[in-house]
Structure 1
Amino acid sequence: MSNTTNGNIIQLEEGWNNVIKKGAIDVLEKTLDDGFDTSFEPKEYIRIYTTCYDMCTQRSPYNWSRDLYQRHGETIEQYLRNTVLPALRDKTGQGGTILLNELKHRWFNHQIMNKWLKKFFTYLDRYYVKHHSLPTLEQAGLQRFKDEIYENVKDTATTAIISLIDEEREGEIIDKTLIKSVVELYESMGMGNLDSYTADLETPFLEATRTYYAKKREDWIAKDSTPDYLIKVEKALNEEKLRVSEYLNPASEPKLRRVVEDEILLKVQQNLLEKEGSGCRVLLANDKAEDLQRMFSLFSRLEDGLQPMADIVQSFITYMGNACIDKRQSRLDSGEKDKNDDPEFIKSLIDLHEKYLGVIREIFASHHLFQKALKNSFEEIINNDVGQFTNAELMSTFCDRVLKSGGEKLNETEVDQSLERIVKLFSFLTDKDLFAEIYRNQLAKRLLNQRSASDDAEKSMISKLKCQCGTQFTSKMEGMLNDLVIGNDTKVEFDKHVAKQPSTNLSFSPQILTTGFWPTYKSPDVNIPENMTKCLEMFKEWHDKTHTKRKLTWVHSLGNATVRATFGKKSYDLQVTTLQAVALNVFNDGATHGLAELEKSLNLDLETLKPLMHSLSCGKHKVIIKSPASNKINSTDTFTANAKFTCNMRKIRIPMASIEASHSKARVDEDRSYAIEAVIVRIMKARKTMKHQQLISEVLSQLAFFKPQPRVIKKRIEALIDREYLERSAEDQQQYNYLA
């Protein structure tokens, strides 16, 4: 039956040859081969589409859907095999760009052909393909291209692409748009995924990249300094990132980055860091901020890439700190007197810490590894004592200079800045409890001798220490300040009481201290002159009535006095300690006394009397004459008032060497013993049973203000066993049990 006789049935060959092939396929192939734009008039397009539609909707056996689907594939296959593949093979060997241009052109043509054939056979896609679960016309067309063209030219094309990229790496200008178009072909050949792109282009490209940069690495490392090498690395990484964004798939970026980083960074990392004349230590020594920042940025790309650099930074900072320590040692070795006051040394450590704190913040972005490096290095530096005095004492004395009147000449801002910086150093100190003991003694002297430059600065320093170590650390210091506030109120009340009494030629201002807050002081039972005794008795009588439950104890070693002294016709106000005032009193009327006589009359031991008489007879203001003249107090010396004493100032301060040590080591050790035992008991009460080594580790981790040797902890464990807080396990002598 024929279409002309029936009027409704279109035969396969007739419809295919007369309409579809002649009107669509032949026209399509010719225009593509001639390089013209392909388009169909609407009327012609409708005629072809309708023919395809009719041929797919005729009743069986005249439904040609299966045949048309098959011929669609065959048409594309024949065109690709007979026309496209020969054209590409013809371009092979003529240069990578020529081949890629031809491939780009043929891929573009195929997309046009695929698009039009899909339009003509739309009805197949909608019904036949869907019903039979077949690849869509577009997928089928892509698969034909992959089978006939892509599989035959992919290796050559990949080689051409890699060659062009290598040319670009060497500074040549290449056609990036061409590469991008061909890359899109690789992506399309995955049929919805990147498998083809990854296997056929990306993998060989990455291997070629590895080979390329391996050669570059050997060349650069041989001739370039570390900074110059890293500049090239930075440039290469930026260029590779740009390369991906311009013509490769974004998924390649992390893989490409890893390959480049591995070849030109990881494999020579140690070499770059330690390179003679330009490695990390040299850059640190010469403050090469930009080069260090680049090094940090590049090595941060590598897994664990910053640890070796942080180790070098830690080693270098430690070296610089040890240089400060060595300088102090050299000064002492050259004969400089070892004192607990060495502001030059402490300032050098403060400056060093501030410098590298800035380096860590600005160059290394406050990275935790470099913060740890700074911490570790300064813990080693700060706890490395040189000379007779510990760094804890030197640091506390530096604070004393800043906080007392007549010390460092600083304004309010500079004082706060100095305190802030010294507290940063203090945070690295292992023996924080020792610092606290010394600081508390020096604070007491400032407060009692009215030598504090600023109450606000004192409070600020205590607040900073409190933030660093907690309330327990500063509670006594805060109590001392509070005592002075309360003492002022007491003074006002007592002054009102004195005003009601018969007049006296003495001005007397007692200061009440709470025993638990203040350091323990020597309290020599000095023989007080009668007029001073009356003042003491007056205050005691008033105090006992006002505060019936408080016990009053006089500490004369802490007092101070202003004594009116007349030498010839001129009078002076001598600002002295209470003990000095008592001693001066015995030299009235030109009396002469020997040391033994003074010891008896004043009721003072030689340990206290010698520095006392030294201050009056051997200091800057010699208000007492010592015979024979020398700078040392001997038991055979005699003393008399200096009748010829003169001074341009009317008010004269006569300092006296402290009869108290800066701190009591025995007291510190005792407090430490209590602290260790408290921690041991607390741990064992919670755990009930523990191995020796575990207990030692746990105790060390919980002690905040000092780090004792394990043998000291072991001694405290033994003490607790003796007192039956703990016992050794019967089964294991290395295990302890808690006894409730």
Structure 2
Amino acid sequence: MDNEIIKLEEGWAEIDKSIEKLIRILSQENPQESLTRKEYAHVYTKCYTMCTQRSPDNFSQELYTRHGERIKDYLESAVMPVLREKRDEYLLKELVVRWKQHEIMDKWMRRFFMYLDRYHVKHHSLPELHEASLKLFRTIVFQEVKPAFVAAILAQINKERDGEVVDRFLLKQCVDIFGKMMPQLKVYTASLEEPLLADTREMYRKKAQEWIEQDALPEYLRKAEASLETEGERVDNYLEAQTKPRLQGVVMDELLAQHEMALLEKEGSGCRALLRDDKSEDLARLFKLYQKVENGLEPIAAIVKEHVTKQGVEIVKKRETVLASAQSQKEKDAHDPTFVQSLLDLHEKYQSLVKKEFEGDSFFQKALKEAFETFVNQDVGKRSNAELLANFCDRILKTGGVKLSDTEMESLLERTVQLFSYLSEKDTFADVYRNQLAKRLLMNRSASDDAEHSIISKLRLRCGAQFTSKMEGMVKDLLTGNDFKKDFKEQVRTKPEVLVQASLASELSASAPGDLVVIDGVEFTVEVLTTGHWPSYKMVPIELPPELLKCISVYQAFYDNKTSQRCLKWVHSLGNCSVRAQFKRTYDLQVTTLQACALLQFNAVPEDEYISFQDMVTRLNVEEEVAKRILHSLSCAKHRVIEKEPKSKGISRTDKFKFNSSFQSPMRKLRLPMASLDESSNPKRVQEDRSIAIEAAIVRIMKARKRLSHQELVAEVLSQLHFFSPAPRVVKRRIEHLIDREYLERDESQANFYKYLA
């Protein structure tokens, strides 16, 4: 091996020859010229030897310095003169070419001086050859041409925005150069992205002013949507990914955020017009665009709330007009299915809008809720909306009401319960609904047991088990009552003599169909109800006919023997009878027990003899008001089986009654409805229940907190009461009651504070 020492100038001269050849190859002066493996090995060996010689002949530092100087000289003498002559697109193409050449040169130079990178650079903590080479390019070339380079790129982007065709691949190559100048895209962000964003902002600021003046809102939104998509595609094609949200953010700010209220309030085509004309596609576009804008949805939601509220108030005003012009306000006030149906249709329409076009966004759900709470609780007439909604439920759940399939019934119930959720007086609804449910169950008038269970489940889901406990108890009570019916019939079948001995009856039989038993020729059955679950009914004492007294005595004997710890109370106003009446033909009259008692009184007098009102009151042993309702249903309603003298629409104390021998009807079975003796809703009972609930909440809160100010206590009470919204003065009154009953006391040091008394 030749161990001759290589001097610096001698060795560098040979290395520089290969570098010169590399530069000629890059400039393509001679396309046939190339570096051979032998030449590369020779240069590498020279560098290696010069770097491994012992001092003072170790030239590692000198070679490292000359490596940088050679690249610097190449950039200054060969690259920059050419670039200074180029402009616009030609500058972009030339810089891309020069950067590629620089990368090739840097690669070969690192190969030539590889030993420096491996040992000298690391040992002396110097920049690696690649870093040094990149820094030279960045300092000498890029910094000088950068202003013109950035301007040329922006010019190409603006041309594309104006509809011209540009070389996207070239732009992508130019952008890549920015990314390679420094790590983490620092140069790209500061040198290209920021100017691009500023240029974009200015351009779309001018476009926004132009479009607002000439376009309606739907067309403006379409242009804004197209602009966002175009800018997004531009980033995907040749810009860095980090630019996409920033660039689109500028577009949204200039086109949407800065002009939101002007666009929404645009006369003839703004958000209100879109809602009025049901422009679902445009509303969906409006939502999608402003969903990306910070705080962009709140103004839209406010307009939606205002619009829905206006629609609802119009429905309420329409009801006011109908009631004012109705001939029978009392009847129209109690049952107005069209009003409730209008509210349901309105809710379905805008709930669908919120779900589909507004994608169920919480702002719009809240707007819909607040809008409906505004007008759903605006009561018109004597009946509250809670009562009307309960009456509507009764209408669709009872037989003879609206004819619906199971699917339609389920859908309508779901929509009705959604409307119910906006009521502030949920307890009033519950009170009315429970009374009507009781009537449907006891009169066997439920159209569907599944529907009854379904709506109770929906109410429980929204209001909790406590809200529906009595309703569920009523349904379960009937199932328990069925067991009593079966046991009663079984005892009549197996041991009739025991019941005969303990009662007034003489003959019992279990031959009747279903749960009925025959007691001295009368088919009879009993519904046993638990007092706590059912509404409190008015107990009407009445003189029962002997046939019914026998039936009652038999069942009383059975019940006393079965449950000695319980007491039966007979509610005759809820009883039903089928009475066979002989006119010119025979009819089966479906009546209440009270009506049956009144009809049987006419068997005791000749056919054309009158019974006075006072005599009827005495015979039945009932209050006059009760007698009036009974006789009105028999003599003034649709089927007048009793003839009244004088003929009038009402019942007075001087009237007299007789059997209507001329009565005729095409139907054999007739139902004679009677006005209920119990109100569907008892406001006094509701107020009492509310007082109890308020006091319970006060005691519960004070027991946990021990000491609270008046304002804090009232606020917490109101937050805990979900079924109604009492006025603060009502809460204050209940607090005073609790102080009087020594549950609470005022703090002696601060009169505005209360203390809990254990």
Which residue number corresponds to residue 687 of structure 1? Answer: 705
Q: Secondary structure at the match of 1:507?
A: strand
2:61 aligned partner, one-letter code? R
Q: Does the aligned pair in 1 maintain the 2:642–2:658 contact within 8 Å?
A: yes
Q: Secondary structure at the match of 1:91?
A: coil
2:273 aligned partner, one-letter code? V
Q: Secondary structure at the match of 1:572?
A: strand
Cα distance, 1:140 vs. partner? 1.1
1:637 aligned partner, one-letter code? D
Cα distance, 1:497 vs. partner? 4.7
Which residue number corresponds to residue 503 of structure 2? Answer: none
1:307 aligned partner, one-letter code? E
Cα distance, 1:684 vs. partner? 0.3
Which residue number corresponds to residue 747 of structure 2? Answer: 729
Cα distance in 1, alignment partners of residues 22 and 461 from structure 2: 83
Cα distance in 2, alignment partners of residues 531 and 54 from structure 1: 133
Cα distance in 1, alignment partners of residues 58 and 526 from structure 2: 123
Cα distance in 2, alignment partners of residues 183 and 459 from structure 1: 67
Query: What are the residue-to-residue correspondences of 1:505-584 with 2, within 5 Å?
Result: 505-568=521-584, 570-584=585-599
Pairing 1:263–2:258 present: no
Cα distance, 1:416 vs. partner? 2.1
RMSD between aligned alpha carbons? 1.8
Which residue number corresponds to residue 719 of structure 2? Answer: 701
- Cα deviation per residue 1:470-496 (whole Å; 9 max; x = unaligned)? 221122122222222222222233334
- Cα deviation per residue 1:270-309 (whole Å; 9 max; x = unaligned)? 2222222222222222222221111111111112221221
Q: Of 110, 121, 136, which residue of structure 2 is paired with 1:129?
A: 121
Cα distance, 1:733 vs. partner? 1.2
Which residue number corresponds to residue 3 of structure 1? Answer: none
Cα distance, 1:131 vs. partner? 1.4
Change (3 A) 1:157 1:35: farther
- Cα deviation per residue 1:683-706 (whole Å; 9 max; x = unaligned)? 000000001111111111111211
Which residue number corresponds to residue 441 of structure 2? Answer: 447
Pairing 1:320–2:304 present: no
Cα distance in 2, alignment partners of residues 363 and 214 from structure 1: 28
Cα distance, 1:177 vs. partner? 1.5
Change (3 A) 1:687 1:230: same
Which residue number corresponds to residue 396 of structure 2? Answer: 402
Cα distance in 2, alignment partners of residues 380 and 734 from structure 1: 33
Cα distance in 2, alignment partners of residues 245 and 483 from structure 1: 69
Which residue number corresponds to residue 15 of structure 1? Answer: 11
Q: Secondary structure at the match of 1:194?
A: helix
Which residue number corresponds to residue 352 of structure 1? Answer: 346
Query: What are the residue-to-residue correspondences of 1:587-602 with 2, within 5 Å?
Result: 587-588=602-603, 589-590=606-607, 591-602=609-620
Q: Secondary structure at the match of 1:287?
A: coil
Cα distance in 1, alignment partners of residues 293 and 34 from structure 2: 55
Which residue number corresponds to residue 463 of structure 1? Answer: 457
Change (3 A) 1:352 1:189: same
Query: What are the residue-to-residue correspondences of 1:486-501 with 2, within 5 Å?
Result: 486-498=480-492, 500=496, 501=500
Cα distance in 1, alignment partners of residues 34 and 186 from structure 2: 34
- Cα deviation per residue 1:176-210 (whole Å; 9 max; x = unaligned)? 121111212222221x2322111111111111111
Q: Of 28, 39, 51, which residue of structure 2 is paired with 1:56?
A: 51
Which residue number corresponds to residue 627 of structure 2? Answer: 609
Q: Does the aligned pair in 1 maintain the 2:577–2:590 contact within 8 Å?
A: yes
Query: What are the residue-to-residue correspondences of 1:92-491 with 2, within 5 Å?
Result: 92=87, 96-190=88-182, 192-335=183-326, 337=329, 338-491=332-485
- Cα deviation per residue 1:288-346 (whole Å; 9 max; x = unaligned)? 22211111111111122212212222222222222222222221122253332222111
Q: Secondary structure at the match of 2:321?
A: helix
Cα distance in 2, alignment partners of residues 156 and 275 from structure 1: 43
Moved more, 411-420 or 439-448: 411-420
Q: Secondary structure at the match of 2:686?
A: helix
Cα distance in 2, alignment partners of residues 48 and 395 from structure 1: 97
1:386 aligned partner, one-letter code? V
- Cα deviation per residue 1:604-662 (whole Å; 9 max; x = unaligned)? 22322222211111111111111221212222222111111111111111111112111
- Cα deviation per residue 1:444-463 (whole Å; 9 max; x = unaligned)? 11112221222232222222
- Cα deviation per residue 1:527-568 (whole Å; 9 max; x = unaligned)? 222332222223223322332222222211111111111114
User: Structure 2 stretches of 5 or more lacking a match?
Assistant: 501-505, 508-519
Cα distance, 1:72 vs. partner? 1.3
Q: Of 650, 655, 672, which residue of structure 2 is paired with 1:637?
A: 655
2:579 aligned partner, one-letter code? V
- Cα deviation per residue 1:122-141 (whole Å; 9 max; x = unaligned)? 11111221111111111111
2:92 aligned partner, one-letter code? L
Q: Secondary structure at the match of 2:524?
A: coil
Cα distance, 1:437 vs. partner? 0.8
Pairing 1:667–2:667 present: no
Change (3 A) 1:199 1:497: closer
Cα distance in 1, alignment partners of residues 159 and 475 from structure 2: 77
Q: Using structure 2 for the length normalisation, give the TM-score.
A: 0.93
2:21 aligned partner, one-letter code? V
Cα distance, 1:441 vs. partner? 0.6
2:384 aligned partner, one-letter code? T
- Cα deviation per residue 1:420-445 (whole Å; 9 max; x = unaligned)? 22111112211111111111111111
Cα distance in 1, alignment partners of residues 174 and 427 from structure 2: 73
User: Structure 1 stretches of 5 or more lacking a match?
Assistant: 1-5
Moved more, 476-485 or 231-240: 476-485
Cα distance in 1, alignment partners of residues 722 and 309 from structure 2: 23
Q: Using structure 1 for the length normalisation, give the TM-score.
A: 0.95
Q: Secondary structure at the match of 2:653?
A: coil
Change (3 A) 1:648 1:62: same
Cα distance in 2, alignment partners of residues 383 and 432 from structure 1: 11
Q: Does the aligned pair in 1 maintain the 2:193–2:243 contact within 8 Å?
A: yes
Q: Secondary structure at the match of 1:320?
A: helix
Change (3 A) 1:220 1:39: farther
Cα distance in 1, alignment partners of residues 534 and 488 from structure 2: 22
Cα distance in 1, alignment partners of residues 481 and 187 from structure 2: 88
Change (3 A) 1:537 1:7: closer
Q: Of 65, 73, 84, which residue of structure 2 is paired with 1:70?
A: 65
Aligned length: 729
**Fraction of identical pairs, as percent:** 51
Q: Secondary structure at the match of 2:247?
A: helix
Change (3 A) 1:493 1:217: same
Q: Secondary structure at the match of 1:451?
A: coil
- Cα deviation per residue 1:482-519 (whole Å; 9 max; x = unaligned)? 22222222223333455635331322222221111111
Q: Secondary structure at the match of 1:565?
A: strand
Cα distance in 1, alignment partners of residues 537 and 319 from structure 2: 32
Cα distance in 2, alignment partners of residues 454 and 177 from structure 1: 71
Cα distance in 2, alignment partners of residues 643 and 361 from structure 1: 63
2:22 aligned partner, one-letter code? L
